[in-house]
Amino acid sequence: MSLFRTELRRLAKRRFARFATLAGLLVLAAVLAGMFFTNQKIDAAQLAKAERAAEAEYQSQLRYVEQHRTECEQAKAAGTADEQRFPADCADITPAPRESFQAEWHLPPTFVFRDGFGEMVIPFAAIMALIGFVVGASFVGAEWSTGGMMNLLLWRPKRLTVLLTKLGALLTGLLAVALPTAVLWAAGFWLVATFRGSTEGVTSGAWQSFALTGLRGVTLALVAAIIGFALASLGRHTAMALGGAIGVMIVGQVGLGILLGMSGVRFPEAWLLPTYVYAWMAKKVELQDWDACNVSYTGECQPDVLEITWQQSSVLFAVAVTVILGAAMWFMRRRDIT
C-alpha cells in the first residue's frame, strides 16, 4: 500500500482536520453573506436622491456661512468681536465650493468588484493560513502524542521519508481545499457585485492581478501549514506549535511592538511579522516616520518613508520555512523514537 495514499486517507479521516476546515469555510461563508446583505446596487433613483442630499447640504452650509458673516460684521461694528471666533476680515468667511459636497457621500454601500475584490482576498488567505497551521500541527502532533508515529516507523523505518510523506499529504490536502475554495470565493463575490454592486471595468489585467494575489494567499497558507507541522514535529505535540504561535504573536509581537515604541526606534512596524504578511498580500506596505519632518517647498511636513515589499516578505518566509523544517528533519533523524 502506498504510504502517500495512506497518509492522505489518514488526514481526511481526522475529525479535528474536518471540523477545523469546516469552521474556516463557515467563517468565509459568513463574510460573503455579510457583504451581500450590507451592500446595495445603485440605480438612477438613488443617484438622484444622493444629488439632492448633497445640494441640500451645500445650501445649508451657505446659510450658515451667511449667518456667521453677518454676526461677524455686527460684532465688528459694535466693537465686541471675539478674535478666537471671528477672523480679522469678515470677508474671509466664505463657503466651501459646491464640488466639495459629493453625492457619493450620501449613497449606500455598494460592492464594485474591480475595486473591492483585491482586498477580500486577504481574509480568504488569513482563514486558509489558520486552517493550514492548526491542521498541520495536529496532523503530526497527534501521531507523536498517541504513539502512532512509533507504530508507523515499525512498518516504514525510514524516518525522513515518513515525515516528508506526511508533509506532502498535508500540503496536497490543503491545496485540494484551498484551490476550489478560491474559485468559489471569486465566484461568490462576482455574484455579490452582480446583484449588490457593479462588475464594470473588470479587464483581463484585473483578473490576472486577482489571480496572482490569490496565488500568494494560497502560498501563505502552505507556508503556515509547513511551519505548524514542523513546530509540532519538533515538540512532538500539537501544543508545541499552538503555544509557539501564541508566544510569537503575544510576547514576540505585542511585547516587541511596545518595547520598540518606548525605545523610539524608527519604523517599529518593520520588526513585526504582520507587516510582512500584509506586504506579501498587498505587494508592498509604506511605513511612515512622522518624527522625521522633511519640509517641502510648500512648507508641508513630509515624513520619512520605508517600503516593505512582497519580495522581502518572500525571503523572510523562505528563511523561516528552511530553518524550522530543517530543524524538524534534523531532530527526526537524530533523536530516539520512544
317-335 in b/e burial notation, b at 16+ Cβ within 10 A? Answer: beebbeebbeebbeebeee
* CA-closest candidate to residue 331, choices 248, 240, 221, 251: 240
Compute CA 80 distance to the chain's CA centroid, rounded to the nearest angstrom.
Answer: 56
Alpha-carbon distance of 297 to 285, in angstroms, equals 26
Alpha-carbon distance of 154 to 89, in angstroms, equals 93
Q: Kindly give the parts of the chain with pLDDT less than 50.
A: none
Which positions ≥6 away from 163 have C-beta within 8 Å?
140, 233, 328, 329, 332
CB 225 within 8 A of CB 170: yes
Burial of 14 (0-12, 13-18, 19+ CB in 10 A): middle
Q: Which helix (DSSP H) or strand (DSSP E) does residue 324 occupy? A: helix 310-334
- pLDDT for 172-215, tens place per residue? 999 999 999 999 999 999 999 999 989 998 999 999 999 999 99
Alpha-carbon distance of 138 to 152, in angstroms, equals 17
Alpha-carbon distance of 211 to 192, in angstroms, equals 18
CA distances from 87 to 60, 63, 230, 265 (A): 21, 18, 68, 42
Angle value at C-alpha 173, between 241 and 235, nearest 5 degrees: 20
CB 109 within 8 A of CB 57: no
Q: Is 42 left (phi over 0), alpha (psi -120 to 50) or beta?
A: beta
CB 136 within 8 A of CB 170: yes
The pLDDT value recorded for residue 89 is 80
The pLDDT value recorded for residue 107 is 78
The pLDDT value recorded for residue 182 is 96
Pairing of strands 284-295, 197-198: unpaired
CA distances from 19 to 12, 24, 62, 84, 235 (A): 11, 9, 60, 64, 23
The pLDDT value recorded for residue 177 is 96
